Homo-oligomer: A and B are copies of this chain.
């Protein structure tokens, strides 16, 4: 006899059973249909790539987290770490065939050889859009509008799209007297404001800057007030980009209450060059659920042509988690809508005819594959959350009738056989 292998999976990877999948597919489809509504088409890149394509693109820390191995032919292979580098590679190889500006979405899995922890997986989904080949601020505002639409469509109400500009931040640092050599360090510390608070950040900044500069800087970047006021308080030449971006967001129909100009937002250290954004949910403590911004040159690693663009990545697993918390996923149905029962071989052709008719009229239906007790067939329907069960034994056949049982209420109703589909159409699933 073959030895039995324990059916276990790697930490940081997951099996999803039908009920989880129904919820995840619902969320994914909402996100996808929003992307499509804005004219984003999808592309697909391989999961396995030459290692040299991916390595060295994510900093020292990131490169360690790229899964890689040698294949049978001695080639060094890596598993996709994100969707951005493969996208850049695809654009560099195909830009002449692509419409420009090029708008694409991608929803697929990526892999990180990370230490798994709560909410941190080795295998997880990313949902990205990018528009590249244009420097227009309208593209930045469009991405903000897609973000707004995604969260609205998913049913979130209390979310904030924080925005800032890397260009602006660089100017502010310069204007208060931060030496250019310290810019990266200072931004890295500013990025900690949310996590460790203003006092701790000030203390750390004072290790590399004078107390005076730190105070000036923190005063500007942590100023409170309405978006308009904050934007107006900046010198005109510094604020033009953010002022225009904000106006375009409003023209696009983004509610002002969901927008927050946050000068302390310091996303992505070296990547972004213009406007950037990050989304937080105000009623679920889970960190940011989406983030992105403008980059100056996406494909520079793979070709000499420069492609500026803007993009955003949605944190799919965090979004699903938050929706569960807020009760937004409690009513997602599984596939099956009607179970046709049957009792013995003599009534089977009749049950099959009912089944065929239900399918033809657009119901997701199934027929129980064995003639066993009705109670067992009901149990099956319960476990699969099938809302209605059709019963048609020899009694019903004789009377040219069928009985429909609602699994939710337990109530049964017998209707003439030829009214079955009409009757089911009137029910709520």
| A contacts, CB < 8 Å to B | 2, 4-10, 13-18, 21-22, 24-25, 35-50, 52-53, 64, 67-72, 75, 77, 79, 89-90, 92-94, 97-101, 103-104, 109, 111, 113, 122-123, 131, 134, 136, 138-139, 142, 248, 251-253, 300-304, 334-336, 339, 348-349, 352, 356, 359, 363-367, 369-370, 380, 383-384, 386
Contact = CB atoms under 8 A, between A and B. Distances in A.
B138 A7 contact: no
A276 to B, nearest CB: 18
A380 to B, nearest CB: 6
A157 to B, nearest CB: 18
Given A7-B53, A352-B252, A14 B138 contact: no
B367 A5 contact: no
A90 B49 contact: no
Given A9-B50, A104-B18, A123-B48, A138 B41 contact: no
A99 B47 contact: no
Nearest to A362: B37
Given A99-B383, A101-B369, A369-B139, A303 B4 contact: yes
Contacts of A384: 39, 41, 99
Contacts of A139: 369
Contacts of A67: 48, 69, 71, 77
Contacts of A339: 39
Contacts of A380: 99-101
A131 to B, nearest CB: 7
A50 B10 contact: yes
A245 to B, nearest CB: 13
Nearest to A99: B383
A196 B94 CA distance: 42
B39 A251 contact: no
Given A6-B302, A24-B44, 8 more contacts: A4-B303, A9-B49, A15-B45, A21-B43, A38-B365, A69-B70, A100-B380, A134-B370
A355 to B, nearest CB: 8
Contacts of A359: 37-38
Contacts of A370: 101, 134, 136, 138
B123 A4 contact: no
Nearest to A299: B7
B25 A42 contact: yes
17 contacts: A5-B53, A7-B93, A10-B46, A15-B94, A18-B43, A21-B44, A37-B364, A38-B366, A39-B365, A39-B384, A41-B335, A41-B336, A48-B123, A67-B77, A103-B366, A131-B369, A139-B369
A142 B111 CA distance: 37
Contact of A43 (B17, B46, B302): B17
Given A75-B10, A90-B7, A93-B7, A352 B251 contact: yes
A71 B335 CA distance: 37
Given A301-B2, A302-B5, A348 B38 contact: no
Contacts of A46: 9-10, 13-15, 123
Given A93-B7, A142-B369, A336 B17 contact: no
Contacts of A334: 41
Contacts of A300: 2, 4
Nearest to A18: B41
A43 B16 contact: yes
Nearest to A70: B69
Nearest to A104: B18
B142 A367 contact: yes
| Residue with the greatest number of chain B CB neighbours at <10 A, chosen from A46, A75, A103, A359 | A46
A7 B48 contact: no
Nearest to A360: B253
